[in-house]
Structure 1
Amino acid sequence: MRIGVIGAMQMEIDNLKKSLENSSVEEISSVKFVKGTIGDVEIVAAVCGVGKVFAAICTEAMILTYQVDRIINIGVAGTLCSDLGVMDVALANQVVQHDMNTSALGDPVGLLSGIDQIYIPSDKKMTALLAKCLEEKQIHYTIGTIATGDLFMHEQKQKQKLHERFEAVAAEMEGGSIGHVCYMNKVSFAVLRSISDGDGGAMDYAEFAQQAAKIGIEIVLAFISRLDELE
């Protein structure tokens, strides 16, 4: 099995690289892909960059070049609900692109016109196994909708609006795009986001982002060690 891991920032991938054996690097579309193995599992990891377009470029290149079987998107996010605080984890059962808006044409906000869907579901088995890994490490998490858009959500009114419109539990800038590309290519995906910012917004992010990013790698490594449970 070949697993793809995508993070938006270098700090989200660095610790994973340390665990790879026989690693090599290849650059495609200005994205550096690191290949290696963890035990018998082939891993392809990449830092996609911040935002939906960078995430889509990385995901499409990873799928077409390396034929990955599954993709996990890790990183940090801002909480949109009272259940999640800083250093907790949001696990997506579906993703939505909150800034996709053709409502002037009569469409619901978030509709992806080409596929006529608002929400793209993540893989149930992958999500369940990630949840099991979180429980065993006693990390508090919530499963729900993760909302994606090209905007750092820091104002409470913005967050409340997203939560009410999509029942979203967290907001970030890549997961919905990665899910969209995976859906179009029929590749299973999961999105796991450590909460780096709460009511403090950008101030919380600056203080906690690095710590929160480490949680994602810890869970991915646990997930990889238990891949046989997906069969």
Structure 2
Amino acid sequence: MIIGVIGAMQIEIDNLKKTLENPSYESISGVEFVKGTIGGTEVVAAVSGVGKVFAAICTEAMILTYHVDMVINIGVAGTLCKELGVMGIAVADMVVQHDMNTSALGDPIGLLSGINEIYLPCDKKMMATLKECLDEKERKYRVGTIATGDMFMHDKHQKDKLHERFNAIAAEMEGGSIGHVCYVNKVPFAILRTISDGEGGAMDYATFAEKAAQIGIEIVVDFIKKIA
């Protein structure tokens, strides 16, 4: 089994690298991949960069080069619901790309033309394992739709609209794109996001992003040991 781990930013992957045994490095399409083992399980990790295009490039390169059996995306997100505050954790059961909009042609907002889906489902076994890890660490979390788009969501009106339109619990900039690439390649995927920004938006993010990213790393290391 080979598990792929993708983070958008360096802080999300740096501490994972420290846990890898016998790491080796390779650069593909401008993305640095590190391959090693955790508890005897092969792991490939990469920092994709911020946004949907970077995330798609990284995911496709990872799948085609390393033939990973599953992909987990970790990182930070902004909350879209009252139940998730800063340092809470969102586990996706589905992902949606909220900035896909061909509604002028009669399509529902979020429709992914070509595959004709709005919501892409995460792998149930991976979700269950993440929940088990979170329960053991007694972390506060919620399962639901995570919305992805190429914008930092900080305006309350925008956030409320996303929650109402898609019943989404968190917003970020990569997970839906990673899910899209995994879906067309028939690779199971999961999305775990730690809330770094709440009502304070960008101010919260600057204060809490690094700590939130570290929480995600701790969970994903436990996840790798359990899922294998």
For 1:59 and 1:162, locate their aligned partners in 2 and report how far apart those are by CA, in whole Å.
25
**Pairwise CA distance, 1:225:** 1.3
Task: Report the residue type matching 1:110 in the other structure.
Answer: G
Distance 1:191 1:134 in 2: 13
The residue aligned with 2:6 is 6
Matched with 1:133 is 133
Aligned to 1:67: 67
Q: Match of 2:151, SS?
A: coil
Matched, 1:205 2:228: no
SS in 2 for 1:126: helix
Tell me, in whole angstroms, the C-alpha distance in 1 between the residues paired with 2:39 and 2:171: 33
Q: Kindly state the Cα deviation for residue 217 of structure 1 after the two structures are TM-superposed.
A: 0.5
> Deviations for 1:72-103, whole angstroms, at most 9, x for unmatched residues?
00000000000100000000000000000000
Q: For residues 168-187 of structure 1, what are the structure 2 equivalents within 5 Å?
A: 168-187=168-187
1:186 partner amino acid: K
1:39 deviates by 2.0
2:54 aligned with 1:78, yes or no? no
Q: Name 2:55's counterpart in structure 1.
A: 55
- Distance in 2 (CA, whole Å) between partners of 1:207 and 1:222 is 26
Q: Quote how far apart the aligned CAs of 1:114 are.
A: 0.5
The one-letter amino acid paired with 2:64 is: L
Note the 1:86-101 alignment, pairs <5 A. Answer: 86-101=86-101
Number of aligned residue pairs: give it.
228
Aligned 1:14-53 pairs, distance under 5 A: 14-53=14-53
In structure 1, what is the Cα distance between the partners aligned to 2:171 and 2:39? 33
List per-residue Cα deviations over 1:129-157 (Å, max 9, x = no partner).
10110011011000000000000000000
The residue type paired with residue 14 of structure 1 is D
Aligned to 1:111: 111
Q: What is the distance in 1 between the residues matched to 2:119 and 2:227?
A: 26
- The aligned runs of 1:213-228 (5 Å cut-off) are 213-228=213-228
Listed as ranges, the gaps of 5+ residues in structure 2 are none
Separation (CA, whole Å) in 1 of partners of 2:135 and 2:114: 37
Amino acid at match of 2:210: Q
Please state whether the residue corresponding to 1:68 is helix, strand or coil.
Answer: coil
Offset, 1:40 = 1.7
CA distance in 1, matches of 2:175, 2:85: 19
Deviation, 1:224, is: 1.1
Q: How does the TM-score come out when normalised to structure 1?
A: 0.98
How high is the sequence identity, in percent, across the aligned residues? Answer: 74
User: Structure 2 matches for 1:142-161, cutoff 5 A?
Assistant: 142-161=142-161
The farther-off stretch of 146-155 and 31-40 is 31-40
Query: Structure 1 counterpart of 2:162, which letter?
Result: L
Distance in 2 (alpha carbons) for counterparts of 1:72 and 1:8: 12
- What is the SS of the residue equivalent to 1:110? coil
Which secondary structure state, in structure 2, belongs to the residue aligned with residue 214 of structure 1? Answer: helix
Instruction: Give me the CA root mean square deviation.
Output: 0.5
Alignment TM-score, normalising by the size of structure 2 = 0.99
Runs of 4+, deviation exceeding 6 Å = none
Give the secondary structure class of the aligned counterpart of 2:163: helix
